[in-house]
């Protein structure tokens, strides 16, 4: 049997204090993404989907899931997602992207989908600056990595573009709007896997028509 095409889903989730008000919707939305990825893999059996979920705040970064195959995926609950402190987004990106790039150095047949979900701009990174993150994003986009940015309470499109991310969604912190946002996210993931199957460009227009 031919080796399956690997699709690595890296989700970088803001766990800063301001996310507390939408904690329930975030958990529900992430768990819907888990179900979506399971459905995608059934529909595209030639693809093997792996998921990594990193949460971050001023107290540090933690992997709730790391390189988990779809069949082993589990949902998260309120005991595992505990919003607190500030938003060191550049550090979270620099750390997780660098680690994943290293893990994939000997892989050939793969795509990476990076999803960043936050309700505020970077405000407390110590290790990485915006310029370094922008450079890393641009380098990885040339190697089958797709970046998406989902945000609230700041100029989402402007900030995403400042680090070379063109696929973005703005959401408002209410249940109805977040439900719509996660629906778009799910539809886009299905289209993304279809683009991989058809060998189309996956880096841009991620949310177009979703």
Q: What is the pLDDT of residue 85?
A: 96
Residue with the two structure tokens 């919003």: 83
Helical residues (DSSP H) of 51-121, grouped into ranges: 89-103
CATH number at residue 186: 3.40.50.410
Measured distance CA(76)–CA(174) in Å, rounded: 20
Residue 126, SS3 per DSSP: coil
Residue 104 above 90 pLDDT?
A: yes
- Asked whether residue 29 is assigned to any structural domain, the reply reads yes
* 205 within some domain: no
pLDDT of residue 177: 95
Q: Which domain holds residue 183?
A: 5-197
Closest CA to 37 of 24, 23, 26, 53: 53
Has residue 123 been placed in a domain?
A: yes
State in Å, rounded, how far the first CA of the chain is from the last one.
Answer: 33
Position 105 in a domain: yes
Query: E-assigned strands of 103-194?
Result: 110-118, 145-151, 167-170
Q: How far apart are CA 136 and CA 62, in angstroms?
A: 21
pLDDT at 8 over 80: yes
| Closest residue by Cα to residue 33 from 202, 192, 194, 201 | 192
Q: What is the pLDDT of residue 19?
A: 97
Please give the pLDDT value at position 60: 96
40 inside domain: yes
Q: For the segment 33-82, what is each residue's pLDDT rounded down to a tens digit?
A: 999 999 999 999 999 999 999 999 999 999 999 999 988 888 899 999 99
Confidence (pLDDT) at 73:
86
In a domain? residue 175: yes
| Cα 6 to Cα 133: distance, rounded to the nearest angstrom | 24
Whether the pLDDT of residue 174 is over 60: the answer is yes
| For residue 187, pLDDT beyond 60 | yes
Q: Structurally, how many domains does the chain consist of? A: 1
pTM of the predicted protein model: 0.97
For the cut 90, the answer to whether the pLDDT of residue 169 exceeds it is yes
């Amino acid at each position: 049997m031919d080796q399956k095409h690997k699709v690595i889903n890296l989700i970088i989730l803001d766990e800063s204090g301001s996310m507390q008000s939408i904690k329930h919707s975030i958990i529900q939305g992430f768990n819907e993404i888990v179900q979506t990825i399971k459905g995608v893999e059934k529909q595209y059996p030639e693809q093997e989907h792996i998921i990594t979920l990193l949460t971050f705040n001023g107290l540090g970064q933690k992997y709730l899931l790391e390189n988990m195959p779809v069949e082993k995926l589990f949902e998260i609950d309120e005991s595992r997602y505990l919003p607190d402190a500030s938003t060191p987004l550049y550090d979270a990106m620099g750390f997780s992207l660098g680690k994943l790039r290293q893990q994939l150095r000997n892989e050939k047949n793969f795509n990476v989908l990076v999803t960043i979900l936050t309700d505020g701009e970077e405000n407390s990174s110590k290790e990485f600056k915006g310029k370094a993150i922008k450079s890393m994003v641009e380098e990885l986009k040339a190697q089958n990595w797709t970046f998406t940015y989902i945000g609230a309470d700041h100029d989402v499109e402007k900030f995403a573009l400042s680090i070379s991310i063109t696929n973005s969604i703005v959401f408002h912190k209410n249940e109805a709007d977040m439900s719509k946002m996660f629906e778009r996210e799910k539809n886009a993931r299905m289209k993304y896997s279809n683009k991989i199957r058809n060998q189309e460009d996956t880096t841009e227009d991620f949310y177009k028509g979703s």
